[in-house]
């Protein structure tokens, strides 16, 4: 096993920095496609659920947020009225 140099800090336990600012940034980015009136509720719920879940990785965080985001996303109306449009 390799010994650490006395002046060099030990490597982090996870390659992903799990400080709250990083999680807040990830949640804020996931909130961008949501309607403005739904963003605050999404951020509050996502923050609480991530804290409770104990997620420690970036990929797991994105997968977790994807499922929460689906509940808050309301696709925009399609003015062309295509086959799958809600605009008809």
DSSP 4: P
pTM of the model: 0.63
The predicted-structure confidence for 19-51, as pLDDT tens digits, reads as follows 545 788 889 999 999 999 999 999 999 999 988
Q: Cα separation of 38 and 55, whole Å?
A: 24
Q: How is the chain split into domains, by residue range?
A: 34-72
Please report, to the nearest 10 degrees, the dihedral formed by the alpha carbons of residues 79, 81, 31, 44 taken in order. 110
**pLDDT interval class at 88 (50, 70, 90):** very low
Q: How far apart are CA 44 and CA 10, in angstroms?
A: 34
Q: Are 27 and 47 in contact (CB under 8 A)?
A: yes
| Residue-level pLDDT at 71 | 93
């Amino acid at each position: 096993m390799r010994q650490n140099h006395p002046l060099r800090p030990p490597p982090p336990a996870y390659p992903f920095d799990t400080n709250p600012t990083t999680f807040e940034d990830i949640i804020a980015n996931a909130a961008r496609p949501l309607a403005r009136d739904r963003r605050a509720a999404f951020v509050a719920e996502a923050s609480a659920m991530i804290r409770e879940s104990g997620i420690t990785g970036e990929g797991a965080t994105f997968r977790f947020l994807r499922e929460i985001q689906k509940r808050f996303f309301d696709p925009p109306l399609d003015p062309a009225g295509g086959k799958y449009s809600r605009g008809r």
